[in-house]
Amino acid sequence: MSTATEATQPIRFYRPDYHVKTPQMRSPEFVQMSTAAAITLGLVPGRMHRTACTHCLNLLVTYPEGCRANCAYCGLARHREESRDYADRNFIRVDWPTARYDEVIERVKAGADKGQFQRMCISMITHPNSNADTYVLLEKWVAAVPQVPVSILSNPTTLEKEDLIRMRDMGADIFTVALDAVTPEIFERTRGKGVDSPHQYEHYWRAIEWAAEVYGPEKFGAHLIGGMGETEREILEVAQKIRDMGGHNHMFAFFPERGSLMEDWPPVDRGQWRRVQLARYIIDYAGGSFRDMEFDDDGRVTGYGVTREKLEALINSGVPFQTSGCPGKEDNVSACNRPYGDSSPTDILSFPFALKKRDVAKIQRQLHGEDVKAGL
């Protein structure tokens, strides 16, 4: 009796649960969203430590058969399909509940987010239907919620330049590429042939070049992950290249995703991460340049190419250490604050809120090489 009843009841919302059979949910009818987004919409009870909500509605296309790529650090990777159903997999440290897309739109239109969403982002995956379904999601959103701009977190492996043009013409505001691995060697080892995955470093860079041409300055960017074996010099050289093209850099601290091929790797060194955050901000928003920075023989930043007074002012502001992503109401502050997407509240690496003096004091100690946590 209960089985028949369950079979006839429409699925509206699913929160990852090991104790029930995972329902069959597929985009474009369904989308996954970050836990922070689900809390902000009132779909999941709870609150985020020291931040009321997320300012970006992060959505993810979803299919029962999952992503066909096999990135070594990713919770959505193909190698996890035997151990955990796709809709149950954690991604950037958190669960991603699934909901009907039409209900998500209706909730935003009804003000369930209390006006907090400054941006929506559609994240694509490697799947044959991902392109077409992204078009559907984009078209519906722009028609229903035009006041909230849309970013596309793309999958270059399945895209051609014409797709970028079509998305722009349909209303996409910003186009981003999750390059993640900043050197060809690290990319191949973590995203390419080294892990039997279809991605190619050259194609990702071609997509960034297309984005620069199609979307123009300040309207495209790239995701870079710090702590996967690159030096500080290498990641910042890539950041400068993207900035020279007119784009911005959205930085993620490497955190070993449970169940991924890199789950035994250590998180990024705190001092390394703080130096990269600070230097990236100087490149992206403070008028500085990688070419003026100084590095030691191991590629560590030893000079930021700005005056001591300016450097101290930037550090004391705390802004360089906030989550970086697509902008909201302020150009240099990310709407996509991704609460605790790369670290825990006890050891915050990317702050999803404006820092207080006590937070800055801990960051200053980390920049000086002390092994302290910045959190709680």
pLDDT of residue 174: 98
The answer to whether position 278 is within a domain reads no
- CATH number of the domain bearing residue 151: 3.20.20.70
The answer to whether position 332 is within a domain reads no
In whole angstroms, what is the distance from residue 340 CA to residue 49 CA?
9
- Helices 161-170 + 201-215 axis angle, to 10: 40
The answer to whether position 293 is within a domain reads no
The answer to whether position 28 is within a domain reads yes
The answer to whether position 36 is within a domain reads yes
Q: Burial-class residue 50 by CB neighbours within 10 Å (0-12, 13-18, 19+).
A: middle
- Helices 130-144 + 101-109 axis angle, to 10: 20
The answer to whether position 300 is within a domain reads no
pLDDT of residue 195: 96
User: pLDDT averaged over consecutive 10-residue blocks of the chain (376 residues)?
Assistant: 42 63 83 91 88 88 91 85 51 76 97 95 96 98 97 97 98 98 98 97 98 98 98 98 98 90 94 98 98 98 98 98 91 84 91 96 97 89
CB within 8 A of 202, min separation 6: which ones? none
**Structural domains in the chain (count):** 1
Give, in order, the Cα–Cα distances in Å from 161 to each of 121, 154, 209, 213, 248. Answer: 20, 12, 10, 10, 20
Q: Which domain holds residue 60?
A: 7-267
pTM of the predicted model as reported, rounded to 2 decimal places: 0.91
- 3-state SS of the chain: helix, strand, coil percent to 5? 35, 15, 50
Judge contact between 215 and 209, C-beta under 8 A: no
The answer to whether position 228 is within a domain reads yes
The answer to whether position 327 is within a domain reads no
